[in-house]
């Protein structure tokens, strides 16, 4: 039986690509399989805010910058394509990793590697052995001379810096790109509310620990450091750093490599729940990765974000995300309608074009039966197609709570034309079996159709006249 080929072929950001890369190397070494990689160079993406906010694709190193010529010639599979997801790999979830050796493979030739933690993915991968192996795999990659020079820079800085903790304030595309802001609910645990960075910095500085703030939003990193310095009385002001304190004049490719390797040297990394960049750094360095959404309780999250949300010199889009996150926390904590509404209103004041926040504001009004107000807001929102597009057709946002659709389908809304219009569009979208929304909510179609018929047909407000 021919052994499978294992390919690292992810097509997202640097952290996720390299996690899949390390996993593919681990699997190939464990089973003596052929390793290969696919790397789509992206050269047409741009940063935002005059290069003060880094966007993942705009800073993704090319394979020629990252790897040596010999490594590329040996392992790069130019005849194969990349993948954004590794769906079939999930068929092996919680099974033995040895199943990778058994046919049928994902493809005739073998498997694309997942970026997931294999010690959690498979039932027979031991965490300690796996983490040690990943760190060794990183050291065995054939990096280019340019990258090796960056590694040397990191080593020199760490010698002077000593022990430190890393706080990774993930923002970038999730905060500043319109498509991601409209999918904010989907990305809510990938982003890092800046209030946490302040609280973590204060706690660490009081313990005389050095704090290094990492962020793809350079202006925010400056503002957070300034706030901390202005608020600290007495000791340890010299123990908080941002990237520009340590190194300057790096190219964008050098910067991304520098940051992930420097982060790997931290004693602890505090990061959001699903950021691939910080996870990859923890793989490289075998250090402790602490998920802030587990580190803080729901009540503590609410208190910390509330305490620091109105600090100076923070971009309105950053504040908008933090206010939306406060809304979600307030909902979970069963805080009053008035406060939840206030958070959504402030989220929209800071980002008036955020369709995600508009959807949740309408849902809150419908849920609490403020139909007149919801109808008036929808009259405004429906003047362009964006509201319905994000609600019903946006493939980036497939995880809206099902109640957002069901709250439109109540008998009391029949006297409110703009609510009824959205209800009709929800019905139409779910009625069409080929629609995008049915692919994302496969078990919701029957429920939506039943609710629609109960509201409109049984009330005699809408009579069937043949074709829908």
Q: What integer pLDDT is reported at residue 154 of this predicted model?
A: 97
DSSP character at residue 12: S
- At residue 381's C-alpha, the angle toward residues 380 and 386, to 5°, is 145
Q: Determine the distance from the C-alpha atom of residue 271 to the mean position of all C-alpha atoms in its chain, rounded to a whole number.
A: 11
Round to whole Å and give the CA distance between 279 and 116.
10
The two beta strands, 34-37 and 5-8, are parallel
DSSP character at residue 114: P
Question: Phi, psi (5° rounding) for residue 312?
Answer: -75, 160
Contacts of residue 86, defined as CB under 8 A and 6 or more positions apart, other chains included, come to 10, 20, 106, 111, 112, 113, 114, 115
Round to whole Å and give the CA distance between 7 and 23.
10
Could you please report the per-residue DSSP string of 244-299?
Answer: HHH-----HHHHHHHHHHHHHTSSEEEE-TT-HHHHHHHHHHT-EEEEHHHHS-HH
Q: What integer pLDDT is reported at residue 443 of this predicted model?
A: 85
- Sign of the Cα torsion 233, 237, 239, 244 reads positive
CATH architecture assignment, domain 146-295: 3-Layer(aba) Sandwich (3.40)
- At residue 102's C-alpha, the angle toward residues 86 and 72, to 5°, is 55
User: Residue 302 in contact with residue 340, Cβ under 8 Å?
Assistant: no
Q: How far is CA 80 from CA 26, 36, 39, 94, 112, in A?
A: 21, 10, 10, 28, 11
User: Residue 422 in contact with residue 408, Cβ under 8 Å?
Assistant: yes
Q: Nearest-CA neighbor of 407 among 451, 464, 449?
A: 451
- Which sequence spans correspond to the domains of the chain? 5-38+77-142, 146-295, 354-468
The per-type count for the chain, helices as H runs and strands as E runs, is: 24, 8
**3-state DSSP call for residue 166?**
strand
Q: What integer pLDDT is reported at residue 352 of this predicted model?
A: 97
97, 99, 100, 105 alpha-carbon torsion, rounded to 10°: -150
Round to whole Å and give the CA distance between 306 and 303.
5
Neighbours of 247 (CB within 10 A): 17
Round to whole Å and give the CA distance between 237 and 72.
45
Helix/strand/coil percentages in the chain, nearest 5:
55, 10, 35
Round to whole Å and give the CA distance between 30 and 27.
5
Round to whole Å and give the CA distance between 57 and 69.
23
Location of structure tokens 């490719």: 253
User: Residue 327 in contact with residue 360, Cβ under 8 Å?
Assistant: yes
Q: Determine the distance from the C-alpha atom of residue 397 to the mean position of all C-alpha atoms in its chain, rounded to a whole number.
A: 12
Per-residue pLDDT tens digits of the chain, which is 468 residues long = 689 999 999 988 899 999 999 999 999 999 999 999 999 988 888 888 888 998 888 899 999 999 999 999 999 999 998 887 765 567 788 899 999 999 989 899 999 999 989 999 999 999 999 999 999 999 999 999 999 999 999 999 999 999 999 999 998 888 999 988 998 998 899 999 999 999 999 999 989 999 999 999 999 999 999 999 998 776 577 899 999 999 988 999 999 999 999 999 999 999 997 888 999 999 999 999 999 999 999 999 999 999 999 999 999 999 999 999 999 999 999 999 999 999 999 999 999 999 999 999 999 999 999 999 999 999 999 998 899 999 998 665 557 899 999 999 988 888 899 999 999 999 999 998 888 888 888 789 999 999 888 887 765 444 444 443
pTM greater than the 0.75 cutoff: yes
């Amino acid at each position: 039986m021919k052994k499978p080929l294992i390919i690292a072929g992810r097509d997202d950001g640097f952290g996720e690509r390299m996690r899949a890369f390390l996993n593919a190397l681990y699997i190939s070494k464990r089973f003596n399989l052929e390793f290969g990689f696919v790397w789509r160079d992206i050269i047409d993406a741009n940063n935002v805010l005059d290069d003060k906010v880094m966007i993942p694709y705009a800073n993704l190193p090319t394979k020629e910058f990252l790897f040596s010529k010999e490594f590329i010639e040996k392992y790069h599979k130019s005849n194969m394509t990349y993948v954004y997801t590794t769906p079939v790999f999930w068929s092996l979830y919680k099974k033995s990793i040895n199943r990778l050796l058994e046919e049928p493979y994902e493809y005739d030739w073998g498997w694309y590697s997942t970026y997931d933690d294999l010690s959690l993915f498979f039932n027979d991968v031991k965490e300690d052995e796996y983490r040690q192996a990943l760190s060794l795999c990183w050291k065995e990659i054939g990096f280019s001379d340019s990258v090796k020079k960056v590694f040397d820079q990191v080593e020199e800085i760490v010698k002077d810096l000593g022990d430190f903790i890393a706080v990774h304030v993930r923002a970038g595309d999730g905060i500043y790109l319109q498509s991601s802001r409209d999918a904010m609910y989907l990305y809510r645990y990938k982003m890092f509310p800046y209030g946490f960075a302040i609280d973590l910095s204060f706690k660490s500085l009081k313990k005389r620990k050095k704090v290094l703030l990492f962020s793809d939003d350079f202006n925010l990193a400056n503002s957070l450091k300034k706030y901390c310095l202005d608020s600290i009385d007495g000791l340890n002001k010299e123990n908080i750093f941002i990237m520009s304190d340590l190194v300057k004049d790096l190219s964008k490719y050098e910067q991304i490599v520098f940051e992930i390797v420097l982060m790997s040297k931290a004693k602890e990394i505090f990061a959001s729940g699903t950021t691939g960049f910080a996870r990859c750094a923890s793989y490289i360095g075998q250090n402790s990765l602490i998920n802030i959404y587990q580190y803080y309780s729901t009540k503590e999250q609410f208190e910390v974000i509330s305490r620091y949300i109105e600090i100076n010199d923070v971009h309105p889009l950053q504040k908008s995300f933090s206010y939306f996150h406060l809304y979600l926390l307030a909902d979970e904590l069963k805080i009053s309608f008035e406060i939840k509404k206030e958070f959504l209103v402030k989220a929209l004041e800071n980002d008036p074009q955020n369709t995600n926040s508009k959807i949740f504001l309408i849902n809150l009004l419908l849920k609490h039966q403020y139909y007149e107000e919801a109808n008036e807001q929808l009259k405004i929102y429906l003047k362009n197609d964006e509201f319905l597009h994000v609600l019903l057709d946006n493939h980036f946002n497939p995880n809206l709570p099902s109640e957002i659709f069901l709250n439109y389908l109540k008998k009391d809304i029949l006297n409110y034309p703009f609510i009824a219009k959205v209800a009709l569009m929800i019905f139409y979208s779910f009625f069409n079996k080929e629609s995008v929304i049915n692919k994302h909510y496969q078990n919701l179609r029957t429920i939506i159709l039943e609710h629609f018929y109960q509201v409109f047909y049984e009330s005699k407000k809408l009579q069937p006249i043949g074709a829908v």
